[in-house]
Amino acid sequence: MNTTDFDAIVIGGGAAGLSAAQALGRSLRRTLVIDAGAPRNRFATHMHNVLGLDGTPPLELLDRGRAEASDYGVEFLAANVVTVRDAGDTLVVEALPHGAGAPAEGDPAPVAMAITARALIVATGVSDRLPDIPGLADGWGRTVLHCPYCHGWEVRGGRLGVLATSPASLHQVKLIRQWSDTVTVFAAGLGGLDDGTERALAARGMRVERDPVATVAPGSAGELLVTTSGGASHSIDAIFTAGSLRPHDGFLSELGLERTESPFGSFITVDVTGRTSHPRVWAAGNVVAPMATVPMAMGAGAGAGGAANYALVEEDFALAGAASESASA
C-alpha cells in the first residue's frame, strides 16, 4: 500500500464492493478495498442468474474482479475494520491487517492502522444464522439452500423441503412450489396454519409436516434425511430455509447512521444511490439489501461508486473555488 490517504475506501471485497471499486478506479480515484475475505456465497460451488457468467464459481468471479480493479490502480488490504470515525473533511478507518498474528503472552495487543478517505462505501454483506438443528449447517450452499433464483433450477422437479423459521416464511413456502410438484413444508416455525392457508397448500399438492425438525443428515445416495421430533423421517433432495440475518456494520456505530427496521432485521438506511445519512458514506449489496442476488449487488455497487465519485467531483470544485477566492482576496 503506497499511502494511507485515499479518495475512497471500499470496505468489503465481494460483488458489490469490487463493482464500486472498479467504478472509482476508472474515475481516476485513489481507491483502497479493505476485505476480510469471507464472502457470503463462499459455500456455493456455482452462481446463477448472472448474465454471461452463469455457472461461474463465486470465488472465481471475485478473483477476476480483483484483477480488473487492480488494472485501474485500485489497491487492496486484507484486514478487519474495527471502527470508522468522522474527522470532518475525511473519514478515518481503523483496521487490523491479517497476518499480524496473536500477540505473545505479555506483549501488547496489535494496534489498528488508521487510513483516511474522503468517501466510504460499505459492502460488507451479512451472515446467515441458520436454525440450531444438528446437521443443517453441514449442507449449507449445496443441499441446504435459501434462494430459489440462485439454486432452484439445479433441484427442479426434485423432492424439496421448506423449513419454516417464522410466520414470514410462508412467502418462501409458496415460492418453492414453482420448482417442484413434490414439496414438504416443515411448518412448526410458522406458528400454526389457519384453515385457508392449509387448504391453499393442499390445493397445490404440498405436504405439511407439523412436528419440529430434530435432525438433518446426509443419506447414502446424496439425499437428505430429515427427522422430526415425533420420529417421522423424510427423504428429500434439498431443503430451503431462511435463517436470521446479521449485517456486518457494527464498525460504523460511532457514525450514528439512520437505520430501517424490516422483517429481516435492522439495516442501514440508504437512498437510491446508496448514500446513507452521512454525506461521505454509501452502502451497497447485502449489507443493506439482504435479498439482493449477485447481479443486483454488482449494480448497486457500481451505482454507489459512481455516486461517490460525483460527490467528490462537486467537492473538488467547491474546494478549488474557495481556494481561488482566498487567493484573490
50-82 pLDDT, tens per residue? 999 999 999 999 999 999 999 999 999 999 999
| Residue 321 covered by a domain | yes
1 belongs to a structural domain: no
Quick one: 22 and 109 in the same domain? yes
Do 205 and 255 fall within a single domain? Answer: no
pLDDT score of 75: 98
pLDDT at 3: 64
Q: What is the percent of the chain with per-residue pLDDT over 70, rounded to a whole number?
A: 96
Evaluate whether 264 touches 290 at the Cβ level (below 8 Å).
yes
The answer on 91 and 29 residing in a single domain is yes
Last residue of a domain, one of 204, 222, 241: 241
Q: Between residues 70 and 242, which one has the greater pLDDT? A: 70
Quick one: 217 and 318 in the same domain? no
Single-letter amino acid code for the residue at 259? R
Pick the last residue of a domain from 241, 258, 286. Answer: 241
Mean pLDDT of 83-104: 86
Cβ-Cβ contacts under 8 Å for 23 (sequence gap 6 or more): 301, 302, 305, 306, 309
Residue 160 lies in domain: 131-241
Does a structural domain hold residue 120?
A: yes
Same domain, yes or no: 231 and 261: no
Same domain, 142 and 119: no
Is the pLDDT at 281 greater than 80? The verdict is yes
**Which residue, chain included where needed, has cell 485515499?**
6
Q: For the chain, how long is the longest CA-to-CA vector?
A: 86
Examine the domain organization and report whether 81 and 223 are in the same domain.
no
Classify residue 310: in a domain, yes or no: yes
Number of domains in the chain: 2
As a whole number of angstroms, the distance between CA 121 and CA 17 comes to: 8
Q: Which of 183, 212, 241 is the last residue of a domain?
A: 241
Contact 34, 81 (CB under 8 A): yes
Whether residues 182 and 103 share a domain: the answer is no
Confidence label for 206 from pLDDT (cuts 50, 70 and 90): very high
Q: Are residues 150 and 253 in the same domain?
A: no
pTM score, whole prediction: 0.91
| Residues 206 and 262 occupy one common structural domain | no
CATH of the domain at 186: 3.50.50.60
Q: Are residues 113 and 258 in the same domain?
A: yes
Given pLDDT bands bounded at 50, 70 and 90, which one contains residue 192? confident
Q: How confident is residue 168, by pLDDT bands cut at 50, 70 and 90?
A: confident
pLDDT for position 213: 96
Does 283 fall in a domain?
yes
Shared domain check, 209 and 147? yes
